Amino acid sequence: MPGAILAEDVLVALDQLTAAIAKGKARPPKENKGQEEPSVSMAHRALPLINLLTAAAKANCNVMWS
């Protein structure tokens, strides 16, 4: 599904994402018993999106996907 975050909304999206990650760090991590692959934290998974939103905020650009 295509979508976009307008340039004027990028900082708000970035703030909401980082706040949600910080809130999630306060909870103890779920154990990954019985699974072969190690668990990956939400902060680690969100890092590419954080970098994208940070770059878009600096350049005052929209973020679009299809």
- Whether the CB-CB separation of 19 and 25 falls below 8 Å is answered with no
Q: How far is CA 26 from CA 20, 21, 42, in A?
A: 10, 9, 12
The band of 30, judged by pLDDT with boundaries at 50, 70 and 90, is: low
Quote the pLDDT of residue 31. Answer: 66
Quote the pLDDT of residue 32. Answer: 64
pLDDT in tens, 41-51: 888 999 999 99
pLDDT in tens, 5-23: 999 999 999 999 999 999 8
Question: What pTM, to 2 d.p., does this model score?
Answer: 0.79
